[in-house]
Chain A
Amino acid sequence: MKLAYYPGCTLHGTANEYDISMKAVFKELGLELIEIPDWVCCGATSAHTTDENLALTLPFLHLVETEKMKLDTVTVPCAACFNRLKITDYYAKNDKEKSEMMEHVVGKKYKKTVNVKHPLQNIIDDIGLEELKKRVKKKLTNLRIAPYYGCLLLRPKEELDFDDTENPSIMEKIIEALDAVPVDFSYKQECCGASFSACKEEMANALTHKVIKDAKDNKADCIMVACPLCHINLDLKQKDIEKQVNEQLNVPVLYFTQILGLALGLSAKELSLDSHFVDTMQLLKDKDII
Protein backbone atom coordinates (compact mmCIF):
# COMPACT_ATOMS: atom_id res chain seq x y z
CA MET A 1 0.00 0.00 0.00
CA LYS A 2 1.35 3.41 -1.02
CA LEU A 3 0.82 6.57 1.01
CA ALA A 4 1.87 10.15 0.30
CA TYR A 5 4.05 11.32 3.17
CA TYR A 6 4.15 14.88 4.52
CA PRO A 7 6.84 14.99 7.26
CA GLY A 8 6.71 18.74 7.95
CA CYS A 9 9.55 20.97 9.18
CA THR A 10 10.11 19.55 12.68
CA LEU A 11 10.51 15.96 11.46
CA HIS A 12 13.38 17.18 9.29
CA GLY A 13 14.89 18.97 12.31
CA THR A 14 14.42 18.70 16.06
CA ALA A 15 12.10 15.68 15.76
CA ASN A 16 14.22 13.62 13.36
CA GLU A 17 13.78 10.54 15.57
CA TYR A 18 10.05 10.67 14.80
CA ASP A 19 10.84 10.70 11.05
CA ILE A 20 13.38 7.88 11.42
CA SER A 21 11.14 5.66 13.57
CA MET A 22 8.06 6.43 11.44
CA LYS A 23 9.83 5.26 8.27
CA ALA A 24 11.28 2.17 9.98
CA VAL A 25 7.91 1.09 11.41
CA PHE A 26 5.93 1.68 8.23
CA LYS A 27 8.53 -0.24 6.20
CA GLU A 28 8.29 -3.13 8.68
CA LEU A 29 4.48 -3.07 8.35
CA GLY A 30 4.63 -3.04 4.54
CA LEU A 31 3.21 0.46 4.12
CA GLU A 32 5.18 2.43 1.55
CA LEU A 33 5.68 6.13 2.28
CA ILE A 34 6.33 8.39 -0.71
CA GLU A 35 7.46 11.82 0.44
CA ILE A 36 5.70 14.71 -1.32
CA PRO A 37 8.45 16.28 -3.45
CA ASP A 38 9.42 19.81 -2.45
CA TRP A 39 6.80 20.08 0.28
CA VAL A 40 6.71 23.39 2.16
CA CYS A 41 5.79 24.46 5.71
CA CYS A 42 2.08 24.11 6.59
CA GLY A 43 2.26 27.41 8.49
CA ALA A 44 1.47 26.00 11.95
CA THR A 45 0.97 27.66 14.26
CA SER A 46 1.91 31.24 13.34
CA ALA A 47 -0.05 31.34 10.06
CA HIS A 48 -3.48 30.67 11.54
CA THR A 49 -2.92 33.02 14.45
CA THR A 50 -2.09 35.73 11.90
CA ASP A 51 -4.33 35.15 8.88
CA GLU A 52 -6.79 32.25 8.66
CA ASN A 53 -6.83 32.30 4.83
CA LEU A 54 -3.03 32.16 4.63
CA ALA A 55 -3.21 29.18 7.02
CA LEU A 56 -5.69 27.38 4.77
CA THR A 57 -3.82 28.01 1.54
CA LEU A 58 -0.32 26.77 2.48
CA PRO A 59 -1.46 23.18 3.26
CA PHE A 60 -3.74 23.26 0.20
CA LEU A 61 -0.63 22.90 -2.00
CA HIS A 62 -0.06 19.40 -0.57
CA LEU A 63 -3.60 18.17 -1.14
CA VAL A 64 -3.22 19.14 -4.81
CA GLU A 65 0.23 17.51 -4.94
CA THR A 66 -1.08 14.23 -3.42
CA GLU A 67 -3.67 14.06 -6.20
CA LYS A 68 -0.95 14.73 -8.76
CA MET A 69 0.95 11.73 -7.31
CA LYS A 70 -2.23 9.66 -7.96
CA LEU A 71 -2.47 8.70 -4.28
CA ASP A 72 -5.64 8.85 -2.21
CA THR A 73 -4.11 9.29 1.26
CA VAL A 74 -1.57 11.69 2.71
CA THR A 75 -0.07 10.60 6.04
CA VAL A 76 0.93 13.37 8.41
CA PRO A 77 2.77 12.38 11.63
CA CYS A 78 3.12 15.89 13.13
CA ALA A 79 -0.14 16.63 14.98
CA ALA A 80 0.17 20.36 14.21
CA CYS A 81 0.58 19.72 10.47
CA PHE A 82 -2.14 17.01 10.57
CA ASN A 83 -4.48 19.55 12.18
CA ARG A 84 -3.85 22.17 9.48
CA LEU A 85 -3.97 19.79 6.47
CA LYS A 86 -7.15 18.17 7.77
CA ILE A 87 -8.85 21.53 8.43
CA THR A 88 -7.88 22.74 4.94
CA ASP A 89 -9.29 19.54 3.41
CA TYR A 90 -12.49 19.99 5.44
CA TYR A 91 -12.99 23.53 4.12
CA ALA A 92 -12.08 22.49 0.56
CA LYS A 93 -14.80 19.82 0.74
CA ASN A 94 -17.46 21.72 2.72
CA ASP A 95 -17.10 25.45 2.02
CA LYS A 96 -17.46 26.47 -1.63
CA GLU A 97 -16.31 30.04 -1.06
CA LYS A 98 -13.11 29.03 0.78
CA SER A 99 -12.42 26.22 -1.68
CA GLU A 100 -12.61 28.64 -4.63
CA MET A 101 -10.44 31.15 -2.75
CA MET A 102 -7.69 28.54 -2.24
CA GLU A 103 -7.82 27.35 -5.86
CA HIS A 104 -7.67 30.95 -7.05
CA VAL A 105 -4.67 31.90 -4.87
CA VAL A 106 -2.50 28.89 -5.78
CA GLY A 107 -3.83 28.69 -9.37
CA LYS A 108 -4.41 24.91 -9.15
CA LYS A 109 -7.53 22.71 -9.07
CA TYR A 110 -8.26 20.23 -6.28
CA LYS A 111 -10.63 17.37 -7.17
CA LYS A 112 -11.17 16.61 -3.46
CA THR A 113 -10.17 12.95 -3.63
CA VAL A 114 -7.60 12.94 -0.82
CA ASN A 115 -7.90 11.58 2.74
CA VAL A 116 -5.67 13.25 5.32
CA LYS A 117 -4.63 10.73 7.98
CA HIS A 118 -2.47 10.63 11.05
CA PRO A 119 -0.28 7.47 11.18
CA LEU A 120 -2.18 6.29 14.28
CA GLN A 121 -5.19 6.01 11.95
CA ASN A 122 -3.14 4.15 9.32
CA ILE A 123 -2.25 1.55 11.95
CA ILE A 124 -5.93 1.00 12.77
CA ASP A 125 -7.35 1.31 9.22
CA ASP A 126 -4.62 -0.25 7.06
CA ILE A 127 -3.15 -2.86 9.41
CA GLY A 128 -5.83 -3.46 12.07
CA LEU A 129 -5.40 -4.36 15.73
CA GLU A 130 -5.71 -8.14 15.26
CA GLU A 131 -3.07 -8.15 12.52
CA LEU A 132 -0.85 -5.86 14.60
CA LYS A 133 -1.00 -8.32 17.51
CA LYS A 134 0.20 -11.09 15.15
CA ARG A 135 3.14 -8.95 14.01
CA VAL A 136 4.42 -8.30 17.55
CA LYS A 137 7.81 -9.95 18.02
CA LYS A 138 8.66 -8.51 21.43
CA LYS A 139 5.75 -8.09 23.85
CA LEU A 140 6.06 -4.97 26.01
CA THR A 141 4.55 -6.73 29.03
CA ASN A 142 4.45 -4.66 32.24
CA LEU A 143 5.53 -1.42 30.54
CA ARG A 144 3.16 1.22 31.90
CA ILE A 145 2.59 3.82 29.16
CA ALA A 146 0.68 7.10 29.58
CA PRO A 147 -0.94 7.91 26.21
CA TYR A 148 -0.76 11.67 25.67
CA TYR A 149 -2.91 13.07 22.86
CA GLY A 150 -2.64 16.81 23.51
CA CYS A 151 -5.06 19.03 21.61
CA LEU A 152 -4.01 19.23 17.97
CA LEU A 153 -4.97 15.62 17.15
CA LEU A 154 -8.43 15.93 18.65
CA ARG A 155 -9.87 19.40 18.20
CA PRO A 156 -11.77 20.94 16.45
CA LYS A 157 -13.92 17.80 16.62
CA GLU A 158 -16.02 18.17 13.48
CA GLU A 159 -13.16 19.16 11.18
CA LEU A 160 -10.65 16.56 12.44
CA ASP A 161 -13.09 13.69 13.06
CA PHE A 162 -10.29 11.82 14.88
CA ASP A 163 -11.60 10.29 18.11
CA ASP A 164 -13.74 11.10 21.15
CA THR A 165 -12.45 14.54 22.19
CA GLU A 166 -13.01 14.06 25.94
CA ASN A 167 -11.93 10.43 26.22
CA PRO A 168 -9.97 9.30 23.17
CA SER A 169 -8.85 5.66 23.08
CA ILE A 170 -6.97 4.97 19.82
CA MET A 171 -3.58 5.05 21.57
CA GLU A 172 -4.78 2.80 24.40
CA LYS A 173 -5.95 0.21 21.84
CA ILE A 174 -2.51 0.17 20.22
CA ILE A 175 -0.74 -0.01 23.60
CA GLU A 176 -2.89 -3.01 24.57
CA ALA A 177 -2.17 -4.72 21.24
CA LEU A 178 1.54 -4.60 22.16
CA ASP A 179 0.74 -6.23 25.54
CA ALA A 180 1.77 -3.07 27.40
CA VAL A 181 -0.37 -1.31 30.04
CA PRO A 182 -2.15 1.96 29.13
CA VAL A 183 -2.12 4.33 32.11
CA ASP A 184 -5.35 6.22 32.76
CA PHE A 185 -4.57 9.86 33.58
CA SER A 186 -6.54 13.09 33.62
CA TYR A 187 -4.32 15.25 31.43
CA LYS A 188 -4.18 13.05 28.33
CA GLN A 189 -6.16 15.50 26.20
CA GLU A 190 -4.99 18.75 27.83
CA CYS A 191 -2.74 21.25 26.04
CA CYS A 192 1.07 21.27 26.60
CA GLY A 193 1.38 24.90 25.46
CA ALA A 194 2.77 24.01 22.00
CA SER A 195 4.96 26.76 20.52
CA PHE A 196 4.22 29.07 23.46
CA SER A 197 7.21 27.41 25.15
CA ALA A 198 9.35 29.80 23.10
CA CYS A 199 7.46 33.07 23.66
CA LYS A 200 5.53 32.46 26.90
CA GLU A 201 7.88 30.01 28.56
CA GLU A 202 6.63 30.03 32.14
CA MET A 203 3.06 29.50 31.01
CA ALA A 204 3.89 26.59 28.69
CA ASN A 205 6.14 25.04 31.34
CA ALA A 206 3.28 25.18 33.85
CA LEU A 207 0.94 23.39 31.41
CA THR A 208 3.51 20.74 30.52
CA HIS A 209 4.39 20.19 34.18
CA LYS A 210 0.79 19.20 34.94
CA VAL A 211 0.83 16.61 32.15
CA ILE A 212 4.11 15.00 33.23
CA LYS A 213 3.25 15.12 36.94
CA ASP A 214 -0.16 13.54 36.45
CA ALA A 215 1.34 10.74 34.34
CA LYS A 216 3.98 10.17 37.01
CA ASP A 217 1.45 10.27 39.87
CA ASN A 218 -0.44 7.53 38.05
CA LYS A 219 2.74 5.40 37.99
CA ALA A 220 3.52 5.68 34.30
CA ASP A 221 6.98 4.38 33.28
CA CYS A 222 6.93 6.66 30.25
CA ILE A 223 4.71 8.95 28.21
CA MET A 224 3.75 8.18 24.61
CA VAL A 225 3.26 11.09 22.19
CA ALA A 226 2.23 11.53 18.57
CA CYS A 227 3.28 15.15 18.09
CA PRO A 228 6.74 16.77 17.86
CA LEU A 229 5.58 19.95 19.63
CA CYS A 230 4.37 17.88 22.58
CA HIS A 231 7.70 16.02 22.52
CA ILE A 232 9.73 19.24 22.60
CA ASN A 233 7.78 20.47 25.62
CA LEU A 234 7.70 17.17 27.52
CA ASP A 235 11.23 15.98 26.71
CA LEU A 236 13.53 18.84 25.64
CA LYS A 237 12.06 21.22 28.23
CA GLN A 238 11.68 18.71 31.07
CA LYS A 239 14.90 19.73 32.86
CA ASP A 240 13.94 23.43 32.63
CA ILE A 241 10.51 22.59 34.06
CA GLU A 242 12.14 20.65 36.92
CA LYS A 243 14.09 23.80 37.78
CA GLN A 244 11.01 26.06 37.53
CA VAL A 245 8.90 23.88 39.87
CA ASN A 246 11.84 22.61 41.97
CA GLU A 247 10.80 19.00 41.59
CA GLN A 248 12.38 15.94 40.01
CA LEU A 249 10.34 14.39 37.20
CA ASN A 250 12.61 12.22 35.04
CA VAL A 251 9.84 10.67 32.91
CA PRO A 252 10.99 9.36 29.48
CA VAL A 253 8.87 10.55 26.55
CA LEU A 254 8.68 8.30 23.48
CA TYR A 255 7.00 8.71 20.12
CA PHE A 256 4.33 6.06 19.48
CA THR A 257 6.37 4.93 16.48
CA GLN A 258 9.33 4.18 18.76
CA ILE A 259 7.17 2.11 21.12
CA LEU A 260 5.56 0.31 18.17
CA GLY A 261 8.98 -0.30 16.61
CA LEU A 262 10.33 -1.92 19.79
CA ALA A 263 7.37 -4.33 19.80
CA LEU A 264 7.95 -5.12 16.11
CA GLY A 265 11.51 -6.16 16.97
CA LEU A 266 13.37 -3.09 15.67
CA SER A 267 16.52 -2.02 17.52
CA ALA A 268 16.95 1.07 19.71
CA LYS A 269 19.39 2.42 17.09
CA GLU A 270 16.92 1.94 14.21
CA LEU A 271 14.38 3.91 16.27
CA SER A 272 16.85 6.62 17.31
CA LEU A 273 16.00 6.07 20.98
CA ASP A 274 19.28 7.52 22.21
CA SER A 275 18.60 11.04 20.92
CA HIS A 276 16.19 12.27 23.59
CA PHE A 277 16.99 14.75 26.34
CA VAL A 278 15.47 12.53 29.05
CA ASP A 279 17.15 9.11 28.87
CA THR A 280 14.94 6.30 27.54
CA MET A 281 17.51 3.51 27.42
CA GLN A 282 17.76 2.67 31.14
CA LEU A 283 14.00 2.16 31.46
CA LEU A 284 13.93 -0.12 28.42
CA LYS A 285 16.87 -2.13 29.80
CA ASP A 286 15.21 -2.39 33.23
CA LYS A 287 12.05 -3.69 31.58
CA ASP A 288 14.09 -6.18 29.55
CA ILE A 289 12.90 -4.67 26.27
CA ILE A 290 16.35 -3.89 24.84
Chain B
Amino acid sequence: MTSDFTQEIEEKLNLDTSPCYQCGKCSAGCPVRKFMDNPPHRIIHMVKMGLKEKVMNSSSIHICVTCGVCSDRCPREVKISELMNGLKNIAKEQGYDSEKEIIVFDKVFLEVIREHGRLFEAEFVPFYNLTSGHPLAMLDKAPHLVWHHKLHMLPERPKTIHDVRKIFEHFKK
Protein backbone atom coordinates (compact mmCIF):
# COMPACT_ATOMS: atom_id res chain seq x y z
CA MET B 1 0.00 0.00 0.00
CA THR B 2 1.30 3.45 -0.89
CA SER B 3 1.68 5.82 2.06
CA ASP B 4 0.17 9.31 2.17
CA PHE B 5 3.66 10.83 2.06
CA THR B 6 4.70 8.81 -1.02
CA GLN B 7 1.48 9.84 -2.75
CA GLU B 8 1.92 13.51 -1.76
CA ILE B 9 5.47 13.60 -3.15
CA GLU B 10 4.70 11.73 -6.36
CA GLU B 11 1.64 13.85 -7.13
CA LYS B 12 3.29 17.17 -6.33
CA LEU B 13 6.40 16.36 -8.31
CA ASN B 14 4.72 14.37 -11.07
CA LEU B 15 7.16 11.46 -10.86
CA ASP B 16 7.16 7.77 -10.04
CA THR B 17 9.60 6.15 -7.61
CA SER B 18 8.16 2.63 -7.94
CA PRO B 19 10.50 1.43 -10.75
CA CYS B 20 13.55 1.87 -8.45
CA TYR B 21 15.08 -1.55 -7.65
CA GLN B 22 17.81 -0.19 -5.36
CA CYS B 23 20.80 -0.89 -7.61
CA GLY B 24 22.60 2.12 -6.12
CA LYS B 25 23.95 3.46 -9.42
CA CYS B 26 22.71 6.95 -8.47
CA SER B 27 24.70 6.91 -5.23
CA ALA B 28 27.79 5.47 -6.94
CA GLY B 29 27.93 8.39 -9.38
CA CYS B 30 26.87 11.12 -6.93
CA PRO B 31 29.72 13.65 -6.50
CA VAL B 32 28.52 14.71 -3.03
CA ARG B 33 27.47 11.33 -1.65
CA LYS B 34 30.15 11.39 1.05
CA PHE B 35 28.81 14.70 2.40
CA MET B 36 25.26 13.33 2.75
CA ASP B 37 23.72 11.55 5.75
CA ASN B 38 21.68 9.33 3.43
CA PRO B 39 22.79 8.40 -0.12
CA PRO B 40 20.29 9.10 -2.93
CA HIS B 41 19.12 5.48 -3.36
CA ARG B 42 18.27 5.35 0.35
CA ILE B 43 16.27 8.61 0.06
CA ILE B 44 14.20 6.99 -2.71
CA HIS B 45 13.58 3.94 -0.54
CA MET B 46 12.63 6.15 2.41
CA VAL B 47 10.14 8.02 0.20
CA LYS B 48 8.67 4.69 -0.92
CA MET B 49 8.40 3.58 2.72
CA GLY B 50 6.61 6.82 3.63
CA LEU B 51 9.24 7.93 6.16
CA LYS B 52 8.39 11.63 5.92
CA GLU B 53 10.21 12.95 9.00
CA LYS B 54 13.43 11.08 8.17
CA VAL B 55 13.41 12.32 4.58
CA MET B 56 12.54 15.91 5.45
CA ASN B 57 15.18 16.12 8.18
CA SER B 58 17.89 14.52 6.05
CA SER B 59 20.81 16.77 5.04
CA SER B 60 20.96 14.98 1.66
CA ILE B 61 18.02 16.80 0.10
CA HIS B 62 19.79 20.15 0.67
CA ILE B 63 23.33 18.94 -0.02
CA CYS B 64 22.28 17.62 -3.47
CA VAL B 65 23.89 19.92 -6.08
CA THR B 66 21.24 18.98 -8.70
CA CYS B 67 24.03 18.08 -11.14
CA GLY B 68 21.72 15.49 -12.71
CA VAL B 69 24.20 12.59 -12.97
CA CYS B 70 21.85 10.27 -11.02
CA SER B 71 18.86 10.83 -13.30
CA ASP B 72 21.08 10.55 -16.35
CA ARG B 73 22.47 7.15 -15.32
CA CYS B 74 19.39 5.55 -13.72
CA PRO B 75 18.67 2.26 -15.53
CA ARG B 76 15.01 2.53 -14.47
CA GLU B 77 14.65 6.16 -15.58
CA VAL B 78 13.64 7.38 -12.14
CA LYS B 79 14.02 11.17 -12.01
CA ILE B 80 16.16 11.19 -8.87
CA SER B 81 17.64 14.66 -9.32
CA GLU B 82 14.14 16.10 -9.82
CA LEU B 83 12.96 14.16 -6.75
CA MET B 84 15.79 15.55 -4.59
CA ASN B 85 15.15 19.10 -5.79
CA GLY B 86 11.40 18.71 -5.28
CA LEU B 87 11.97 17.42 -1.75
CA LYS B 88 14.16 20.46 -1.12
CA ASN B 89 11.32 22.74 -2.35
CA ILE B 90 8.78 20.98 -0.07
CA ALA B 91 11.14 20.98 2.94
CA LYS B 92 11.61 24.76 2.63
CA GLU B 93 7.87 25.32 2.19
CA GLN B 94 7.06 23.26 5.30
CA GLY B 95 9.84 24.74 7.45
CA TYR B 96 12.29 21.82 7.65
CA ASP B 97 15.74 23.38 7.93
CA SER B 98 18.41 20.72 8.49
CA GLU B 99 20.99 22.69 6.45
CA LYS B 100 20.49 26.27 7.63
CA GLU B 101 23.35 27.92 5.68
CA ILE B 102 22.14 26.61 2.33
CA ILE B 103 18.58 27.71 3.10
CA VAL B 104 19.74 31.18 4.19
CA PHE B 105 21.85 31.51 1.02
CA ASP B 106 18.84 30.87 -1.23
CA LYS B 107 16.56 33.10 0.84
CA VAL B 108 18.94 36.07 0.78
CA PHE B 109 19.69 35.56 -2.94
CA LEU B 110 15.99 35.64 -3.82
CA GLU B 111 15.39 38.70 -1.63
CA VAL B 112 18.09 40.59 -3.55
CA ILE B 113 16.57 39.54 -6.90
CA ARG B 114 13.08 40.59 -5.81
CA GLU B 115 14.45 43.95 -4.68
CA HIS B 116 16.67 44.80 -7.68
CA GLY B 117 15.71 42.40 -10.51
CA ARG B 118 19.38 41.46 -10.89
CA LEU B 119 22.05 40.15 -8.55
CA PHE B 120 23.74 43.02 -6.70
CA GLU B 121 26.85 41.40 -5.23
CA ALA B 122 27.97 44.38 -3.12
CA GLU B 123 24.72 43.94 -1.17
CA PHE B 124 24.23 40.19 -1.48
CA VAL B 125 27.63 39.03 -0.18
CA PRO B 126 27.74 41.18 3.02
CA PHE B 127 24.01 40.52 3.64
CA TYR B 128 24.56 36.76 3.32
CA ASN B 129 27.81 36.84 5.33
CA LEU B 130 26.13 38.60 8.25
CA THR B 131 23.02 36.38 8.17
CA SER B 132 25.06 33.18 8.00
CA GLY B 133 27.60 34.22 10.64
CA HIS B 134 30.71 34.49 8.40
CA PRO B 135 31.18 38.28 8.25
CA LEU B 136 34.61 38.15 6.62
CA ALA B 137 34.03 35.50 3.94
CA MET B 138 35.23 36.53 0.45
CA LEU B 139 36.39 39.90 1.77
CA ASP B 140 39.98 39.20 0.64
CA LYS B 141 38.73 38.94 -2.96
CA ALA B 142 37.10 42.40 -2.98
CA PRO B 143 40.15 44.56 -3.94
CA HIS B 144 40.90 42.42 -7.02
CA LEU B 145 37.22 42.48 -8.05
CA VAL B 146 36.92 46.25 -7.60
CA TRP B 147 40.20 46.86 -9.48
CA HIS B 148 38.93 44.87 -12.49
CA HIS B 149 35.46 46.52 -12.42
CA LYS B 150 33.80 43.27 -11.39
CA LEU B 151 32.14 44.63 -8.28
CA HIS B 152 29.75 47.55 -8.63
CA MET B 153 28.81 49.88 -5.82
CA LEU B 154 25.34 50.63 -7.21
CA PRO B 155 22.73 48.11 -8.38
CA GLU B 156 21.69 47.92 -12.05
CA ARG B 157 18.03 48.85 -12.26
CA PRO B 158 16.13 47.12 -15.08
CA LYS B 159 12.84 48.86 -15.91
CA THR B 160 11.12 45.46 -15.94
CA ILE B 161 11.43 45.15 -12.14
CA HIS B 162 7.59 45.29 -11.92
CA ASP B 163 7.44 41.96 -13.85
CA VAL B 164 9.83 40.41 -11.31
CA ARG B 165 7.80 41.70 -8.35
CA LYS B 166 4.59 40.39 -9.96
CA ILE B 167 6.11 36.91 -10.37
CA PHE B 168 7.45 36.82 -6.79
CA GLU B 169 4.10 38.03 -5.46
CA HIS B 170 2.25 35.33 -7.37
CA PHE B 171 4.42 32.58 -5.84
CA LYS B 172 4.35 34.30 -2.42
CA LYS B 173 8.14 34.45 -2.25
A272 to B144, CA, bound (A): 14
| A residues in contact with B86, CB < 8 Å | 52
- Choose among A16, A46, A54, A156 the residue that contacts B167 (Cβ–Cβ < 8 A): A54
The 4 closest A-B pairs by CB, nearest first: A155-B68, A9-B119, A46-B106, A191-B67
- Choose among B31, B138, B152, B167 the residue that contacts A207 (Cβ–Cβ < 8 A): B31
- Contacts A165-B72, A196-B65; is A57 near B121 (CB within 8 Å)? no
A193 within 8 A of B: yes
A43 to B110, CA, bound (A): 8
For residue B116, give the distance in angstroms from its CB to the closest CB of chain A: 8
- Choose among B67, B149, B159 the residue that contacts A38 (Cβ–Cβ < 8 A): B159
- Choose among B69, B104, B141, B167 the residue that contacts A106 (Cβ–Cβ < 8 A): B167
Chain B proximity mask over A184-198: 1 for CB below 8 Å, otherwise 0: 000000110111101
A106 to B163, CA, bound (A): 7
A51 within 8 A of B: yes
Instruction: Determine the main DSSP class of A at the interface with B.
Output: loop
**Minimal Cβ-Cβ distance residue in A for B158:** A38
A200 to B158, CA, bound (A): 31
- Choose among A38, A51, A190, A272 the residue that contacts B31 (Cβ–Cβ < 8 A): A190
A106 to B166, CA, bound (A): 7
- Choose among A43, A151, A155 the residue that contacts B113 (Cβ–Cβ < 8 A): A43
Chain A proximity mask over B75-87: 1 for CB below 8 Å, otherwise 0: 0000001100110
Interface size on A, residues (CB 8 A): 53
A45 to B110, CA, bound (A): 10
Name B's A-contacting residues (CB within 8 A).
31-32, 35, 63, 65-69, 71-72, 81-82, 85-86, 88-89, 92-93, 99, 101-102, 104-107, 109-110, 113, 117-119, 121, 128, 132, 137-138, 141, 144-145, 148-152, 156, 158-161, 163-164, 166-168, 170-171, 173
- Contacts A38-B159, A198-B105, A203-B32; is A156 near B88 (CB within 8 Å)? no
Cβ contact within 8 Å between A52 and B118: no
* Most chain B beta carbons < 10 A, residue from A9, A154, A236, A275: A9
Cβ contact within 8 Å between B117 and A41: yes
Cβ contact within 8 Å between A48 and B166: no
Cβ contact within 8 Å between B89 and A156: no
- Choose among A17, A50, A151 the residue that contacts B67 (Cβ–Cβ < 8 A): A151
- 28 A-B residue contacts at CB 8 Å? A13-B121, A17-B148, A39-B158, A41-B118, A46-B106, A47-B113, A49-B85, A49-B89, A50-B106, A54-B173, A57-B167, A57-B171, A58-B167, A106-B163, A107-B166, A151-B67, A151-B69, A155-B68, A155-B69, A156-B71, A156-B81, A166-B72, A190-B31, A191-B31, A196-B102, A200-B99, A201-B137, A207-B31
Instruction: Determine the main DSSP class of B at the interface with A.
Output: helix
* Most chain B beta carbons < 10 A, residue from A43, A155, A157, A201: A155
- Choose among B85, B119, B171 the residue that contacts A13 (Cβ–Cβ < 8 A): B119
A151 to B152, CA, bound (A): 29
Cβ contact within 8 Å between B119 and A10: yes
A12 within 8 A of B: yes
A10 to B156, CA, bound (A): 12
Cβ contact within 8 Å between B156 and A12: yes
A200 to B105, CA, bound (A): 10
**Minimal Cβ-Cβ distance residue in A for B121:** A13
